[in-house]
Structure 1
Amino acid sequence: MLRDHLQRYDPVFQHAAIGMALISLQGSFIQVNPVLCELLGYSQQQPDSISQLDHAYQDVLSAVTEFGGSLQSQPLPQGTFELQIQQTAGRQLTVTIHLTLIYDEQVPQYYLAQFENRSLLTETKTQLLSTETMLRDIQDSYQQLLEKMPLAVLITRNGVIQYVNPAALQLVHARDQSEAIGISTDEIVDSSYHYSLSERRKTYYEHQTPLQSITYLINCMDGQQKLVEGFTLLINYDGGPAAVGVFKDITEQREKEEFMMQSEKLTMAGQLAAGIAHEIRNPLTSINGFMKLMRSSDRSSEAYFDIMESELKRIELIVNELLVLSKPQSKHKSQAVDILPVIDQVVTLMDVQATLKNIEILCDKPDSPVQIVGEVNQLKQVFINLLKNGMDAMASSGSIHVMITTNEHEVLISVKDEGSGMTAEQIQQLGQPFYTTKETGTGLGYMITQNIIHNHGGSIQIDSVPDRGTTFTVKLPKLVSVEASSN
């Protein structure tokens, strides 16, 4: 009868995808399939493999018979239990055993055991639990870091605040998180900055690009206003995309900067006033002295009038240059300008004066147009000043070289003379009110030149060697054409 049962189960044993065994009621293996042998680490072709399994896995058989004994009193003679099994190689396995008590004519004969290897699932669960614990630890550490940061941190999603750290609560003068969490950042950021705020959100949602640093005016919970500066990073928070903003209060810093700028302006105004007083007092003293001489003299001298006229013209020159310097350069109407015709016009204008001093102006420039954005008359004034300075620095004949070059972002215009040159100390003092290396200069021309170049977004560089000449290099932003930028 047992042999008939074995033959009946044999096809199932051989083709089953899980380990299977027939186990006697006394607790010994009757038949095992290849999958179970492989699971336990045995070859089914080994001699006496069944007896080896009986000996090696006596604890498993004991567990089966103990659990199987309880099935005899159950209406449904089958059940499941879990067991830790150690392979012959030493690996610990977690196995679920599905046990069925087989009857013949209502008499229990043996157990049909199915061994389901749950080790991989258990290991995966263990790894997941470990990973979850590690992530929780990281999140806790991250949370502690945010809580202790001296900078204000806000996490927002779709413009709504999800989290604020204590520094952020202090920044907006909120009593606790309930006052801040859930409100829109539009309520905190002043309405004058709402356009900048909406543009940043648009940039994020359309391009998913990192957001640059920004300055906002914010309204605190108590009505006070502050100026804050910070940056935004894109993160995942509570399972969804969010933005974390890190900000600091720069209200006091900005007030100090404005105070310093105001102090510098007052200092500059004081220096200008002192310089103006000094520069104008000298010719006024001369005029006053000659007027007294004319009054005390029976006849007037033509030379006195010439000197007085010269001194009055000097006062007029100082006043005119001060008026130019005081004009708000930022109000000029900028437009696309080809710098080459501007330089040509300036060279033509200054050529007559240069010829009188036996000076030749040489110009080296590209063949194709060189575009910048600027105001033509102010640019002309810059290069007239530079050419005039070059000619004034040259006592006798010589050459002034004007060179125009470009790179990817800039246009460079160099004016090189063969004059007396300057020392490093003299270069450092250029631009100060009424400092000049010329006998009849006021020093205001270079200040005007600097202001115009600065308002055009450019810079000026000076290279000079005493007795060998000076090179002024003006650098202006290059205007890239639409066609070039699209290639």
Structure 2
Amino acid sequence: MRPNEFQSFDFAFNHAVIGMALVSFDGTFLKWNSALSTLLGYDHNELLTPSPSVRTLLDQIHEIAELGTPSSMNIHPHRFQQDYFQPTGHLLSLEVSVSIISDGNGAPLYYFTQFENKTMIRQMETQLQDAENSLLEKENSFLQLLEGLPLTVVITANGIVQYANSAGLQLIHAESLDQVLGISTTNIVDLSNYAILQERRERYFSGNTIGSVCYLINCLNGQQKYVDGFTLPITFNGNGAFIGIFKDISQQMLEDERLIQSEKLSTAGQLAAGIAHEIRNPLTAINGFMKLIRSSERMNDKYFFIIESELKRIEFIVNELLVLSKPQTTHVSKPVDLLSLLEQVTTLMNGQAALKNLKILPVCADQSIWINGEAYQLKQVFINLLKNAMEAMNSGGNIYIHVLTNESETRISVQDEGCGMTEEQIKALGKPFYTTKETGTGLGFMITQNIVHNHGGSITVESIPEQGTTFTVIIPTILEPEETVM
């Protein structure tokens, strides 16, 4: 080291904020700065005769330095970590750097050592490691909990499956977790439900709650199932994700369908007399005009027009009866013209009403009202409500159907002039097998309620004993079909 280099080094040595020392090859301090005295907890003179803890530190420097060669240590200083107790008993974590200072001819003179206090950093690293271990332990416990759940649990990130519990693997007939990891949810959710999937994603990104959902899913063995559940945002493996908890409701939906079918067959049987009366009228007209045609010397087109019209009426009534009675296996919601649907139901029920000296009086808008749903199920709703109204009226009267609509919803009220119900009876409606009729099953209103709820709507009841009852169905309105195509 040249004289001017030594002066610069000496100045930097004495004014450094980290501990520095020159150490002889036999392991004694030759020179040290005040920062080192402060760091080690001794005054300058006390380091002339090192304490046992300082002696241990010097011995460690000597041992580490002997592992290298002077030429290598000039280029790459040796570094090591060393715990050190100050005289007060306070534990420090030191990082020591050892290099060799040589003279102008390259001959080694002594070790140049630097001491940095890494205690704070080490404590932070320890805390971070403890926190990471704690999180890992909690995550493992969390996954163990999920594995024990009988419900299907799926964790996804950006629409990609990150985890599925045993119940989930069993649901979709996967043999191992590897079969589902990395699969997109669009491969599991059926194509017919993509709109629901996308709508839920948009709802989340716009800051709204996601809520519960029912999906039709595709299993790995080609089978399809219905699942019902909900999704929540979570943190998984340190990243944002979603956890979905689902229940297989395929069997439940099958049972619901059987219940609906049973009620439909019961309704069809109860309407048989009214339908026979409704068909008998056009048949009488057809028979009369056929006799006129036989006795007439020339053909009259007006007779044929009336006959054709009455035949179409019979065909319509029979078709409606078939829709009411036959099983429906599809569950595809489509735009439905509500007013047209109510007209069809009213036509079907008019025969039954006439037998009981009742009139069904629709009070509807002139323009079409569009809702999204399954027509045959919605017909079942209004048939049930009209049938209930008829059964509540034993002395004739009127049944009013009021339809009010706006941009977001439509309200359809079925109002009778019957015996009415008490508050207690209204509260009990919808409970299985509860009925106010001598021959009722109590399933009709429960099924009606379920259908309305499945269409995103609600149903309310207002009643005054001996004055009548009003059932109001509220259901979301959509734009006309041609305006909804994007």
1:57 to 54, 61, 69: 54
Distance 1:6 1:145 in 2: 67
Note the alpha carbon deviations across 1:399-438, whole angstroms, 9 max, x for none: xxxxxxxxxxxxxxxxxxxxxx997788899994599xxx
Matched position secondary structure for 2:142: helix
How far apart in 1 are the matches of 2:33 and 2:62?
19
- For 2:167 and 2:135, the matched residues in 1 are separated by 25
Deviation at 1:14, TM superposition (A): 3.0
CA distance in 1, matches of 2:469, 2:191: 46
SS in 1 for 2:211: strand
SS in 2 for 1:20: strand
| TM-score normalised by structure 2 residue count | 0.53
Distance 1:201 1:423 in 2: 45
- Report whether the alignment pairs 1:80 with 2:116: no
SS of alignment partner, residue 255 of structure 1: helix
- Which structure would you say has the larger Rg? 1
Checking the alignment, whether the CA contact within 8 Å between 1:85 and 1:95 is kept in structure 2 is: yes
1:35 Cα deviation from its structure 2 partner: 1.6
**8 Å Cα contact 1:77/1:101 also seen in 2:** yes
- How far residue 249 of structure 1 moved from its aligned partner, in angstroms, is 1.0
Matched with 2:96 is 97
Q: Is the 8 A contact 2:159 2:184 kept in 1?
A: yes
AA matched with 1:136: L
**C-alpha contact 1:332 1:375 (8 A) present in aligned 2:** no
Distance 1:273 1:434, change over 3 A: farther
Determine if the alignment matches structure 1 residue 459 to structure 2 residue 460.
yes
**1:245 and 2:281 are equivalent in the alignment:** no
Contact 1:210 1:233 in 2 (8 A): no
1:248 Cα deviation after fit: 1.3
Distance 1:237 1:68, change over 3 A: closer
Q: Secondary structure at 1:123's aligned position in 2? A: helix
Deviations 1:130-157 (A, max 9, x none): 3333333233223333333222233344
CA, structure 1 residues 429+65, in 2 after alignment: closer, same or farther (shift >3 Å)?
closer
Alignment of 1:302-381 (within 5 A): 319=355, 324=360
Q: Secondary structure at the match of 2:201?
A: helix
Q: Which moved more, 1:248-257 or 1:176-185?
A: 176-185
Structure-2 change in CA distance of 1:177 and 1:15 (3 Å)? same
- 1:174 is aligned to 174
For the residue of structure 2 that corresponds to 1:128, the secondary structure is helix
- Paired residues for 1:264-303 under 5 Å: none
* Match of residue 12 from structure 2: 12
Q: CA deviation at 1:229?
A: 1.0
Residues 422 and 229 of structure 1: CA distance in aligned 2, closer, same or farther (over 3 Å): closer
Task: Say whether the 8 Å CA contact 2:271–2:352 is kept in structure 1.
Answer: no
Query: Is contact 1:210–1:234 with CA below 8 Å preserved after alignment?
Result: no
Residues 1:427 and 1:185: Cα distance change in structure 2 (over 3 Å): closer
Bigger shift: residues 246-255 or 117-126: 117-126
Contact 2:95/2:115 (<8 A) preserved:
yes
Q: Which residue of 1 aligns with 2:191?
A: 191
Q: What does 1:400-479 align with in structure 2 at a 5 Å threshold?
A: 432=436, 457=458, 459-462=460-463
Partner of residue 415, structure 1: none
Give unpaired runs (5+ residues) of structure 1: 275-314, 336-370, 394-420, 436-449, 480-487
Report the alpha carbon displacement of residue 231 of structure 1 after superposing the two structures with TM: 1.7
**Does structure 1 residue 35 correspond to structure 2 residue 35?**
yes
- Report how many aligned residue pairs link the two structures: 341
Q: 2:126 maps to what in 1? A: 126
1:76, distance to aligned residue in structure 2 (A): 5.2
In structure 2, C-alpha distance between the alignment counterparts of 1:256 and 1:80, rounded to whole Å: 77
Gap runs ≥5 in structure 2: 274-350, 371-403, 430-434, 440-448, 477-486
Question: 1: distance between equivalents of 2:250 and 2:181?
Answer: 24
For the structure 1 residues 210 and 111, does the alpha-carbon distance in structure 2 shift closer, same or farther, using more than 3 Å as the test? Answer: same
* Counterpart secondary structure, 2:141: helix
Percent sequence identity is: 36
Inter-CA distance 112–461: structure 2 relative to 1 (3 Å threshold):
same
8 Å CA contact retained: 1:333, 1:375? no
Three-state SS of the structure 1 residue aligned to 2:88 is coil
Q: 2:428, 2:48 → 1: CA distance? A: 105
* Structure 1 residues 268 and 114: CA distance shift in structure 2, 3 A: same
Counterpart AA for 1:153 = V
Kept in 1: contact 2:458–2:475 (CA 8 A): no
> How many angstroms apart in 2 are the aligned matches of 1:199 and 1:120?
49
Partner AA of 1:80 in structure 2: H
TM-score by length of 1: 0.53
Secondary structure in structure 1 of the residue aligned to 2:70:
coil
Tell whether 2:115 aligns with 1:115: yes
Counterpart residue identity of residue 120, structure 1: M
Please say if residues 216 and 227 of structure 1, whose CA atoms lie closer than 8 Å, have aligned partners that are also in contact.
yes
- Whole-angstrom distance in 1 between the partners of 2:57 and 2:216: 74
Q: Give the aligned partner of residue 145 of structure 1.
A: 145
Letter in 2 for 1:256: E
Q: Greater CA deviation, 173-182 or 455-464?
A: 455-464
Structure 1's 196 and 477: CA in aligned 2 closer, same or farther, altered over 3 A?
Answer: closer
Residues 267 and 43 of structure 1, relative CA distance in 2, 3 Å threshold? farther
Contact 1:31 1:50 in 2 (8 A): no
Instruction: Tell whether the 8 Å contact from 2:159 to 2:185 is kept in structure 1 after alignment.
Output: yes
Q: Distance in 1 between matches of 2:468 and 2:353?
A: 26
Relative to structure 1, is the Cα distance of residues 425 and 271 closer, same or farther in structure 2, using a 3 angstrom cutoff? farther
Cα shift at 1:472: 7.8
Task: Quote how far apart the aligned CAs of 1:239 are.
Answer: 5.9
Distance 1:317 1:132, change over 3 A: closer
3-state SS of the aligned residue for 1:223?
coil
Could you tell me how far apart the structure 2 residues matched to 1:258 and 1:146 are? 32
